[in-house]
Amino acid sequence: MNHLILKSPAKINLFLNILRKRKDGYHEIYTLMQAIDLQDEIVLEKRGKGIAISTDHPDCPTDESNLAFKAAALLLEDQKKSDGVSIQISKRIPIAAGLGGGSSNAATTLKGLNRLFELKIPKRRLYQLAAQLGSDVPFFLGSGQALAKGRGEKLEPVVLFSGYWLVLVYPGFGISTRWAYQNFKISLTKINKEFNLQKIENRKGFFKALLGFDNDLEKAVQERYPTIGRIKDILTSSGAIKSSMSGSGPTVYGVFEHKLKAEEVARKIRRGNWEVFLTQPIPV
């Protein structure tokens, strides 16, 4: 085998609670993540030496700062492989959008190189490598649904209702995750809730449970970028069961029970620089 063609999916945070600031500078979080069928494509191909990145997106880096590059370098060093690889990334997931595109590219590269070079690295070791690359990276090695704690790397796989549709609206600008967390203010009176899996065994229970949780980063980001609030209002007034920002933003999603309604709303709100995606949950 000399090359592989792989799909690299985005994710949304169905909720994101920030519990406290940690001594290591990170934040302790509690979040529910879901993979979706908005996907980049990654082509991995063996080469003599070195790592080469190419992409069709002008804002996607092609040097050592690219997470897929870092993933390849880390895995090859860990396995003491002197072989090289070229990584071609066709981007569909917006960059710095709160959808985990870079983290997904890194995880897909780890999984892909394990197959391409027939390394047979145990899943546990792949998770360890993924955690070194970023908090969201381990999620994309799993089943596509997980509760995440710690920095986001402590995963509890769950089986949730997934028969719904999503309208994603990316307003055309990126937001730094670091900036979003730095500008978040932890409430001293905040009550931390646990997501009760017993309540989401059916469609009605799932939607009801989601309405009890929010994205704690949303307020700070929305104050700086009021467009996010406007998008949320449009989705809610158009019939979304829940509307929220994903991750550190700025992408906003609306949850819809039926595809036809989601398609109608997606057509209605396309405007200006906004990118609108109709998507649905998937397993990784």
Catalytic positions: 11, 136
Q: CA angle at residue 195 from 234 to 127, to 5 degrees? A: 100
From residue 166, give the alpha-carbon distance in Å to each of 20, 23, 34, 38, 158.
30, 36, 11, 10, 20
Residue type, 141: L
- The answer to whether the peptide bond before residue 250 is cis (omega within 30 degrees of 0) is yes
274 and 172 Cβ atoms separated by less than 8 Å: yes
Cβ neighbours for 6, distance < 8 A, ≥ 6 positions apart: 41, 42, 43, 44, 108, 111, 112
Find tokens 């406290």 and name the residue: 20
Indicate the DSSP class of residue 140.
G
Backbone angles phi, psi at 140, to 5 degrees: -75, 0
- What b/e readout covers 55-93, taking b as 16+ CB neighbours within 10 angstroms? bebeebeeeeebbbbbbbebbbebeeeeeebbbbbbbeb
Burial level of 30, CB count in 10 A (0-12/13-18/19+)?
Answer: buried
* Element counts in the chain: helices (H) and strands (E): 8, 10
Beta bridge partners of 8: 40
